[in-house]
């Protein structure tokens, strides 16, 4: 059984997220306050290739929103975040890692979290070109993804999002990557964060990928060139002969 996560070298498509919502909008949807509200910035593009923070709700403090460094680290890790990510990718873990990975298995049992986003990105390959799609909640409000976290010895929190096999419309679009993040609906927030929940119920939550009604549309291919998104960068751009949601 592996102690750490997948070594770099495979396809890692889920390394960008969107959190384009104000603090007030997030707190209204989540019905919880931010512990450190001044740390929140509305951002069309969160790039996990650089050390960055994500808003999360963790099991040890389920009544508040805090921040975690995106990219799971072992609790006793002392070196730089970039050193670990250079060898292992821990921006996301598949549900298969929960069985095969000691670090993921322990966190799944004791340190689950909700990662708050307004969207994520998937990709379609057509005639040698890659097309980005923006995936978001149908009501266009913030929603949550299933995540795990660790608390380092200095008190900082790190997190990873869980992924599972893509289904339905998502699968039709993704033709080079077969994994998708796992949305958690509001009706299951408390269950996902509960410390007395059975493992079978947790697995049922992870297998229920329709908890949030999602939509998606292709966006401008400038997405691949810009680390800072411009106004309208998440707007639909339709191309010939590529699938729609």
Q: E strand or H helix at 25, and its extent? A: helix 23-30
38-62: b (≥16 Cβ within 10 Å) or e: eebeebbbbebeeebbbbbbbbeeb
* 83 inside domain: yes
Q: For the chain, what is the domain count?
A: 1
Burial of 120 (0-12, 13-18, 19+ CB in 10 A): buried
Q: pLDDT band for 1, please (50, 70, 90 cuts).
A: very low
* 126 inside domain: yes
| Better-predicted residue by pLDDT, 170 or 229 | 170
CATH number of the domain within which 216 lies: 3.90.1680.10
CB 43 within 8 A of CB 18: yes
In this prediction, residue 210 carries a pLDDT of 84
In this prediction, residue 229 carries a pLDDT of 65
Question: What residues make up the domain containing 102?
Answer: 16-224
pLDDT digits (tens, 9 = 90+) for 46-77: 999 899 999 999 999 999 999 999 999 999 99
* 38 inside domain: yes
Tokens coding 37: 């509200």
In this prediction, residue 230 carries a pLDDT of 67
* 11 inside domain: no
In this prediction, residue 197 carries a pLDDT of 95
Q: What is the mean pLDDT of the chain?
A: 90
pLDDT digits (tens, 9 = 90+) for 76-92: 999 999 999 999 889 99
pLDDT digits (tens, 9 = 90+) for 109-168: 999 999 999 999 999 999 999 999 999 999 999 999 999 999 999 999 999 999 999 987
**Confidence check: pLDDT of 100 > 90:** no
* 24 inside domain: yes
Instruction: Tell me how far apart the alpha carbons of residues 50 and 116 are, in angstroms, rounded to a whole number.
Output: 18
In this prediction, residues 171-187 reach a mean pLDDT of: 93
């Amino acid at each position: 059984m592996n102690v750490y996560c997948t070594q770099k070298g495979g396809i890692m498509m889920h390394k960008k997220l969107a959190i384009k919502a104000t603090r007030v909008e997030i707190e209204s949807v989540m019905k919880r306050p931010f512990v450190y509200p001044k740390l929140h910035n509305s951002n069309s593009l969160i790039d996990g290739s650089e050390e960055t923070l994500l808003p999360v709700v963790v099991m040890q403090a389920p009544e508040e929103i805090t921040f975690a460094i995106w990219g799971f680290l072992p609790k006793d890790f002392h070196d730089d975040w970039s050193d670990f990510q250079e060898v292992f990718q821990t921006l996301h873990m598949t549900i298969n890692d929960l069985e095969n990975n000691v670090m993921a298995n322990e966190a799944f049992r004791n340190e689950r979290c909700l990662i708050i986003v307004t969207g994520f990105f998937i990709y379609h390959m057509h005639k040698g070109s890659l097309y980005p799609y923006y995936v978001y909640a149908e009501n266009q409000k913030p929603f949550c993804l299933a995540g795990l976290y660790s608390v380092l010895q200095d008190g900082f929190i790190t997190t990873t999002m869980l992924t599972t096999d893509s289904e339905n419309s998502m699968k039709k679009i993704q033709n080079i990557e077969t994994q998708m993040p796992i949305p958690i609906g509001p009706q299951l927030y408390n269950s996902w964060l509960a410390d007395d929940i059975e493992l079978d119920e947790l697995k049922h939550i992870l297998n229920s990928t329709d908890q949030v009604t999602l939509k998606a549309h292709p966006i401008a291919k400038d997405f691949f060139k810009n680390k800072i998104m411009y106004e309208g960068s998440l707007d639909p751009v339709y191309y010939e002969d590529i699938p729609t949601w």
